[in-house]
Amino acid sequence: GENVEQHPSTLSVQEGDSAVIKCTYSDSASNYFPWYKQELGKRPQLIIDIRSNVGEKKDQRIAVTLNKTAKHFSLHITETQPEDSAVYFCAASPGANSKLTFGKGITLSVRP
Amino acid sequence: DGGITQSPKYLFRKEGQNVTLSCEQNLNHDAMYWYRQDPGQGLRLIYYSQIVNDFQKGDIAEGYSVSREKKESFPLTVTSAQKNPTAFYLCASSGWTGDTEAFFGQGTRLTVV
C-alpha cells in the first residue's frame, strides 16, 4: 500500500519568512495530493490540493509543487504569519475506489 | 447546515467497557473514515467504508468495530480488546473516490481510566 512520509516533524520560522514542507510517497499510481491544516484543538481542513496532471498550484500565499519522477510534493507558504502556526498533513491517493493515506504531520511554528 | 458531526466531544470510560463513538454526516458522501490521532503519530486509519453495508479495515483495526447501516452514519465501537484506547478520534467523509476533499468532524477525545 501507499506510504507517505513527512520530514522534519517540526519547523520554526520567523514571521514574514517562507516555509517549505516536503512529503514523499511510495505508490507511483497515486494521483491526488491534498494538504490539510489542523489548528490547535480544531479539526483538519483542506487548504490546497494537486493532481498528477499538474506540476504546481497556487492560492494566494500558499502553493504546492509535485515531482512525480522523484515521488515528492511540497507545500510552500510565503510571508508567514502567526496564524499559519498549526500542524500540516500531506496525503496521497491513487484515486478511484481508494483511500487517502496521510503523513504523520509537521508542526509549523511562526515566531512573531 | 451541512457537515459532519461527532458526539460526544469528550468521553470517559472505565477499563474493560466497550464504548461507541457517533459520526453522522449530511453531505450525501458515500465514503466515511475513522482515524485515531496520537501525539507525533499523525492520522492513522482505523476503518473506512465506501458504501452502505460494506467497510474495510485500515492500518490499526484491532480492537475496534464499525457498522454502516445507513449512508449518513458510521459509528465506531472501541472494544475492551483495544489495549490502549485513550486517544483523539476523528471521523471524516468524502466522495466515493479517494481523490476528493475529506471533511472531518470535530473529534471525540476518549479517556479510559
Contacts of A103 in chain B (CB under 8 A): 42
d(CA A77, CA B22): 36
Question: Is the pLDDT confidence value at B99 over 80?
Answer: no
- pLDDT tens for each residue of B15-34: 999 999 999 999 999 999 99
Instruction: Choose the closest CB to B102 out of A97, A100, A104.
Output: A100
Cα(A79)–Cα(B92) distance, integer angstroms: 31
* pLDDT tens for each residue of B43-68: 999 999 999 999 999 999 999 999 99
- Nearest-Cα distance to chain A for B59, in Å, is 10
- Which of A80-84, B64-68, B99-103 comes out lowest in average pLDDT? B99-103
A97 pLDDT more than 70:
no
pLDDT of residue A71: 96
For A105, which DSSP code? -
Q: How far apart are the first and last CA of chain B?
A: 36
What is the distance between the alpha carbons of residues A24 and A36, in angstroms, rounded to a whole number? 15
All cell numbers assigned to B64? 475496534
Q: Tell the burial category of B91 from Cβ atoms under 10 Å away from its Cβ (0-12, 13-18, 19+).
A: buried
CB of A3 less than 8 A from some CB of B: no
Residues of B in contact with A52 (CB under 8 A): none
